[in-house]
Structure 1
Amino acid sequence: MSEQSTPVRAMREWAFETSRAYAEPFTDVRVTATFTDPSGAVSTIEAFHDGDRTWRVRYNPGVAGRWSWRLGSNPPNSDFEQDGEFTVEQAEVRGFLRSTPGEGWGFTWESGEPVFILGDTTYHLFGMAHDSDDGARQVRAFMERRAAQGFNLLRVRLPVSLFHPPDGYNTWQTRRLWAWGGSEQSPRFDRFNVPYFQTVDSVLRWADELGIGIELIMEGWGFEFPFNSRNIFVPEWEELWLRYLVARFDAFGSVTIWTLQNEYEYYPNGDWHYQSNGAVCDRWAIRVGHLMRRIAPHGHIIAIHNGPVMPSFGKRFASDPYVIDTVMFQTWGTVDERDGWLAAGIEDQIPKSLGDWPGSAILSEYGYEFNPDLPPMMLAHQYCDPDHTRRGAWRGAMSGLGIIQGFENTWGPAQVLDQDQAGLTSLLHLRHFFTGLVPFDRLQPVTGLARSSDSAAGHAPLAMATPERDIVVVYLPVGGEVSLEPGLEGHKEHWFDPRIGEMTTHEQRANNVFTPPERPAGDHPDDWVLVLRSMY
């Protein structure tokens, strides 16, 4: 392949040097590249300053054929008045992740392949990679392991937080990780920490190599500086920040989701006061969402992440229902000492919050599995045990959503990246079930199909089925008998054990009442998955 050709959906980069010295290179000039595809369609992306007198342009073409580009600047600079052509060759690639409500579970690759989302929360992955050479090695090894395990999405923040209340100090951090110029006490929002962003480049390249997606959280958390001080971090500085992130990272194939802010209801001053602030956070999300659609040419998913679960998202965005593609939905279920293991209520909250939402969604946060061997930083996690991890994931998946879990080892303050916690294995079993044993993209939740005499909160069975009812799946959070509606007599009965990931044939049917296999009792009742397949 010649230097002037590139495969479809491969990022291409150009570097431009200027003899002109800009006192403030991030603000004194705006450099823009315009691309024209073989059909004549035009798109633009800004160049970004990468230190010294270097500006770079990154673009990821999605159409085969002959392309042209033209560079320009404002104010004009002859060093930035250039143009050229290149050829894009056809290639068999999956392409970018797309939000496709109504298709499968809401996500497909550009190739048309449906996607089962399985993710991990690693907010400070970029920060640890930049902190030290050893940290970078640990990050690379962690990403390789997650990719080999079948994870396809990592939640990562672009600004690094030193602290999360009440006691979550970063135990691994040895250097400043401030993303802007100046300092936290005296910020320069017209400058960016270029070496830090070059590290982010490296991590995104690793993700590209490994085929793992990155959710880039652009602002978060909203309760911390500068996002809680909008009188200092004014809209002009926010837009400069967003434009720099898009110019630098939008062309990466590993960038799957742009999340505007973690728990966006903290806008504008770091307090959750959704009901009393006139829903200004929704107006902010709509405004920033439209900005992203104007400046980000590659069509990556635009998402918001919630704190409060109500009002519903259809009501929140009724005035502009399609500017946001995806809700990265947070709801934890029960997390108390008595019922934390049960993760009850997740499946009830999902339809209340998302039932009127026209876009896609992922259960992106439902707790962080506690590690009692670490110093207690977040006691709110202490009853999020491996049972909570497993049952919460099944409740989300049985609601037709992809799953992202969090672990104390990896979410932020501790960063014990070389050790997986106990609950992770059950996530791998869940992924194997939905991608290897049943066709997840054909299954949708069905209410009323399965019933139980156990009326305790969180004990009710959850059912999914294909439109033809040739496959029926029922999750029993606490085991026990389950009765199904008539018409399934011609189906073969199988049982999947979500704790060990094994499928068995076990015929205990009596008048459409099914009973799971018996296992030695543990601390809590066993959960089981019933699978019925038509024999015709």
Structure 2
Amino acid sequence: MTTFTAESPLYFVMGHAEGNRILNERVPTLTNNPLLHTLYFHEVGMILGTEDALKDKPAEVAEILRLIGGLEPEDTVAQRAEAAAVDVPAPSAGYEPETVERGSAALSLPATAAVHERFEATIAGPSHGNPFTDVDLQAVFTAPSGKTLTVPGFYDGDGSYKVRLLVPEEGDWTFTTASNARSLDGITGTFTAGGAAPGAKGLVRVANTFHFAYDGGTPYLPIGTTAYAWTHQGDALEKQTLDTLAAGPFNKMRMCVFPKSYLFNENEPDLYPFEGSLAGGFDYERPNPAFYRHLELRISQLDELGIEADLILFHAYDRWGFSTMSPGQDSRYLKYVVARLASHRNIWWSLANEYDLLFRKTTEDWERFAGIVQANDPSGHLLSIHNCQAFYDYSRPWITHSSIQRQDVHKTAEFTGEWRDRWQKPVVIDECAYEGNIDQGWGNITGEEMTRRFWEGSMRGGYVGHGETYMHSNDILWWSKGGGFHGSSPERIGFLRRIQEETPGGYLDPLPSAWDIPTAGIRYEYELSYFGFNQPTYRNFVMPARRQYQVDIIDTWNMTVDTLPGTVEGRFRVELPGRQFIAVRIRAVA
């Protein structure tokens, strides 16, 4: 059976290990092209025939097609499972000789901490060999309640090891370390945790099945945006991004650990997550502590602004090899990242952006990755995974909420109710398309349409995310590099956020509604109906008799709320302005 022909989509050839290798070897200008991901669903023969490096070389094109045409189907699952089983050796018990006194490394730690803040113990330990892979360190913390938490430690370079805990309880804590390095094993410490500081929020958790709240129970309404590679742009642009966020409506930021190689993303970062260089290659067994300190600084600065960092751990837009590390390297990277960052209050974990474009990773890999994250995160931050084409199975128990990219060119938020019913989890539409004017259909909707999709998703009980892709002379597009807003939707999204926050109980849940509009709120108490791109000049409503109501006409685009004079009851008609993007709010009078 022929696996591939000239008519096969490039996507599937790239997803085959040997097909991927052949194209990388024969046509590196294609596989390293930042535009590669826009070519995936064209026929491989046509792509090869239009590649500049193969121009006037029909024999070479024919040879590549012959090679991929002779490939056999592969059992990727079995291959990856076998590789993962042998590629993560346990650290050696003989890392330090028996002459080293057990627990002899110097410990430094603060005497006090506070609930919802980070406690950090630092240990001055050995640095020979490769401590990132040769040393395993963890600490078992005992809470005042008697509960124990196992917390991984990590190597921070220059002979320094750290163990961090996001403190969940007030009172006296103790801990004991365990390590294959004798000097790091059996160290004990104590500290006292005071109450949470005024305004401290705690972690965001799932609440009421479909929504979110901070640890203390205060509702959290995710009003998200995306700037994938903003922490890789240098100090001036990164500070501008923070200033923009400080003045904007967003309280969640989707962002990547790794830099990005894609449309409008061809600049090199100042720092890399591993030791090495693009020219000389990277040592995927040696994380670069300076890179992670910088990332942590930016995550902390987001926290100061009240913004959750929805951190993407893997993505396919790569020219550095970070997306094609071995199973063992993937595992060690994940353990390191989670050990370093899980003590940040405002972290959400996203295993991947567009997981299904990481061709060499299988469902078994993603399930293994989820287990690594959960095992190394004692605080239990939110955890999900994001799709390109096919949805992941969001019913899997480790997934706290869906993280959706639209699958229909025009409709996305309209499916929110269906997804709530299917998965019984919060629906977060992280990518409904982006407001902008680039050539890609995912990046050229209007501000009106972005705002409409936010309202549609909110009315149907979900949460929609923003992004912006306006052409820029220096390729500074918000959706990846941050900088400043150029679109018209952020201010309107902020207006929606204010409307949502006024909802009794803090959440909008869908209500039974007419066939042509969505309605949300609390039935017969607080009902909000949204007309979207329709433009009625009036509407008839029915509410219970002998109950008085006030009516607000909300212009979601012009950001106005007009309260009609007097009260209404029973059946009544509301005159409307005959414009698009109008909502009607009906509030019971006490």
Query: Residue 222 of structure 1 contacts residue 264 of structure 1 at CA under 8 Å; is this kept in 2?
Result: no
- Which position in structure 1 is the counterpart of 2:232? 127
Question: Which residue of 438, 444, 448 maps to 2:509?
Answer: 444
- Which position in structure 2 is the counterpart of 1:140? 239
- Which position in structure 2 is the counterpart of 1:457? none
Compute the displacement of 1:112 (Å).
0.5
Alignment of 1:431 with 2:497, yes or no, is yes
CA distance in 2, matches of 1:416, 1:301: 24
- Which position in structure 1 is the counterpart of 2:182? 77
Query: Residue 151 of structure 2 contacts residue 377 of structure 2 at CA under 8 Å; is this kept in 1?
Result: yes
Question: Which residue of 478, 491, 498 maps to 2:556?
Answer: 498
Once the two structures are superposed, what CA deviation does each residue of 1:82-104 show, in whole Å capped at 9, x if it has no partner? 211000011253211112243xx
The 3 A distance-change label for structure 1 pair 333 and 440 is farther
Query: Residue 204 of structure 2 contacts residue 212 of structure 2 at CA under 8 Å; is this kept in 1?
Result: yes
Q: Which moved more, 1:300-309 or 1:55-64?
A: 300-309
Query: Residue 264 of structure 2 contacts residue 477 of structure 2 at CA under 8 Å; is this kept in 1?
Result: no
The 3 A distance-change label for structure 1 pair 144 and 413 is closer
- SS of 2:422's partner is coil
CA distance in 1, matches of 2:479, 2:444: 18
Compute the displacement of 1:347 (Å).
3.4
The 3 A distance-change label for structure 1 pair 317 and 442 is closer
CA distance in 2, matches of 1:203, 1:517: 45
The 3 A distance-change label for structure 1 pair 222 and 288 is farther
Query: Residue 478 of structure 2 contacts residue 484 of structure 2 at CA under 8 Å; is this kept in 1?
Result: no
- Which position in structure 2 is the counterpart of 1:168? 264
- Which position in structure 1 is the counterpart of 2:27? none
Question: Which residue of 340, 353, 368 maps to 1:262?
Answer: 353
- Which position in structure 2 is the counterpart of 1:322? 397
The 3 A distance-change label for structure 1 pair 190 and 145 is same
- Which position in structure 1 is the counterpart of 2:192? 87
- SS of 2:467's partner is strand
Identical columns (%) = 21
Once the two structures are superposed, what CA deviation does each residue of 1:4-34 show, in whole Å capped at 9, x if it has no partner? 111111112222212x332212111111122
Alignment of 1:51 with 2:157, yes or no, is yes
Q: Higher Cα Rg: structure 1 or 2?
A: 2
Compute the displacement of 1:223 (Å).
7.6
Compute the displacement of 1:110 (Å).
0.2
- Which position in structure 1 is the counterpart of 2:78? none
Question: Which residue of 439, 442, 448 maps to 1:387?
Answer: 448
Superposition map of 1:351-362 within 5 A: 351-362=417-428
Compute the displacement of 1:491 (Å).
2.6
CA-based RMSD of the aligned residues comes to 2.8
Superposition map of 1:49-448 within 5 A: 49-74=155-180, 76-79=181-184, 81-91=186-196, 92=198, 93-102=200-209, 105-128=210-233, 131=234, 133-135=235-237, 139-161=238-260, 163-164=261-262, 167-170=263-266, 173=267, 175-183=269-277, 186-221=281-316, 226=321, 229=324, 233-255=325-347, 257-269=348-360, 280-281=362-363, 283-308=364-389, 316=393, 321-331=396-406, 334=409, 344-370=410-436, 372=437, 376=438, 378-381=439-442, 383-408=444-469, 415=481, 417-436=483-502, 438-439=503-504, 441-447=506-512
The one-letter code sitting in structure 2 at the alignment partner of 1:350 is: T
- SS of 1:294's partner is helix
Query: Residue 316 of structure 2 contacts residue 358 of structure 2 at CA under 8 Å; is this kept in 1?
Result: no
Compute the displacement of 1:189 (Å).
1.5
Query: Residue 450 of structure 1 contacts residue 474 of structure 1 at CA under 8 Å; is this kept in 2?
Result: no
- Which position in structure 2 is the counterpart of 1:12? 119
5+ residue gaps in structure 1?
Answer: 271-279, 335-343, 452-459, 519-524
The one-letter code sitting in structure 1 at the alignment partner of 2:306 is: G
Compute the displacement of 1:159 (Å).
0.5
Query: Residue 355 of structure 2 contacts residue 385 of structure 2 at CA under 8 Å; is this kept in 1?
Result: yes
- SS of 2:219's partner is coil
Query: Residue 461 of structure 1 contacts residue 482 of structure 1 at CA under 8 Å; is this kept in 2?
Result: no
The one-letter code sitting in structure 2 at the alignment partner of 1:239 is: S
The one-letter code sitting in structure 2 at the alignment partner of 1:23 is: G
Query: Residue 156 of structure 1 contacts residue 215 of structure 1 at CA under 8 Å; is this kept in 2?
Result: yes
- SS of 1:189's partner is strand
The one-letter code sitting in structure 1 at the alignment partner of 2:175 is: W
Query: Residue 226 of structure 2 contacts residue 480 of structure 2 at CA under 8 Å; is this kept in 1?
Result: no
CA distance in 1, matches of 2:394, 2:481: 36
Query: Residue 223 of structure 1 contacts residue 266 of structure 1 at CA under 8 Å; is this kept in 2?
Result: no
Question: Which residue of 493, 500, 517 maps to 1:461?
Answer: 517
Query: Residue 34 of structure 1 contacts residue 42 of structure 1 at CA under 8 Å; is this kept in 2?
Result: yes
Once the two structures are superposed, what CA deviation does each residue of 1:484-509 show, in whole Å capped at 9, x if it has no partner? 45537743221011112211034799
Query: Residue 257 of structure 2 contacts residue 311 of structure 2 at CA under 8 Å; is this kept in 1?
Result: yes
The one-letter code sitting in structure 2 at the alignment partner of 1:423 is: S
CA distance in 1, matches of 2:504, 2:123: 48
The one-letter code sitting in structure 2 at the alignment partner of 1:248 is: R
5+ residue gaps in structure 2?
Answer: 1-108, 471-475
CA distance in 1, matches of 2:296, 2:464: 26
Compute the displacement of 1:446 (Å).
2.1
Once the two structures are superposed, what CA deviation does each residue of 1:182-213 show, in whole Å capped at 9, x if it has no partner? 34574421111221111012112212322221
- Which position in structure 2 is the counterpart of 1:339? none
Query: Residue 521 of structure 2 contacts residue 527 of structure 2 at CA under 8 Å; is this kept in 1?
Result: yes
Once the two structures are superposed, what CA deviation does each residue of 1:371-407 show, in whole Å capped at 9, x if it has no partner? x5xxx4x532453111111111111111112232001
Compute the displacement of 1:106 (Å).
1.2
Q: Which moved more, 1:4-13 or 1:79-88?
A: 79-88
Compute the displacement of 1:69 (Å).
1.3
- SS of 1:168's partner is coil
The one-letter code sitting in structure 1 at the alignment partner of 2:559 is: G
- Which position in structure 2 is the counterpart of 1:527? 581
How many residues in Structure 1 have an aligned counterpart in Structure 2? Answer: 469
Query: Residue 172 of structure 2 contacts residue 193 of structure 2 at CA under 8 Å; is this kept in 1?
Result: yes
- Which position in structure 2 is the counterpart of 1:273? none
Query: Residue 464 of structure 1 contacts residue 474 of structure 1 at CA under 8 Å; is this kept in 2?
Result: yes
Query: Residue 430 of structure 2 contacts residue 466 of structure 2 at CA under 8 Å; is this kept in 1?
Result: yes
